[in-house]
Amino acid sequence: MITTQAAAFLEALPTGGRLMGLDVGTKTIGTALCDAGWSFASPATLIRRTKFTKDKAQLVELAAAQNVRGLVIGLPLNLDGTESPRSQSSRSFARLVVDMGPVLLWDERWSTVAVERAMIEQDMSRARRAERIDNLAAAYILQGAIDALTIS
């Protein structure tokens, strides 16, 4: 099941387990994991993209090791909320990994900007920012989703 609706995603999730956030790019896939109580998201492994089958195998291995029950994938929208060519790429990726569990496509319009600002405020070098931005963006995306899922 793939959805953009938090309520439908929540309904489709099996009980217990963690969620994995993904920031899918053309060269890397940033990953993040949340705790089982869905309180906080943390950056995880950066996957350097090669062939999809190898990329997915790494995702499956990480998901199995961390008891992941669902995926939150960043959906890059235009500033006006319409879909972009990158949105279609994220939707295609979601269709290829939906067998790993329910997928929530989450608006990521401001994730990279917010994360980069925070890193600049921490006086992080450009090289260090480039190395960490995808995983931190995945954590930002996942945190937004778990905040929405746990508000009752």
Q: What is the dihedral of CA 14, 18, 19, 20, to 10 degrees?
A: -130
Sheet of 41-48, strand order? 2-3, 103-107, 68-75, 18-24, 28-34, 41-48
DSSP state of 118: H
* CB contact at 8 A, 112 and 19: no
Q: Could you give phi then psi for residue 142, rounded to 5 degrees?
A: -65, -40
For residue 115, the model assigns a pLDDT of 66
Where residue 120 falls among pLDDT bands split at 50, 70, 90? confident
pLDDT of residue 114: 67
Closest CA to 74 of 123, 45, 102, 107: 107
Could you please report the per-residue DSSP string of 45-105? EEEE---HHHHHHHHHHHHHHTTEEEEEEEE-B-TTS-B-HHHHHHHHHHHHHGGGS-EEE
- Cβ-based neighbour number of residue 106 at 10 Å: 22
Average pLDDT value for the chain: 87
pTM reported for the whole predicted model: 0.85
pLDDT tens-digit readout, 28-73: 999 999 998 899 999 999 999 999 999 999 999 999 999 999 999 9
Quick check: 119 pLDDT over 70? no
pLDDT tens, position by position, 61-74: 999 999 999 999 99
Q: What is the pLDDT of residue 18?
A: 93
What pLDDT sits at residue 152?
54
117: pLDDT strictly greater than 60: yes
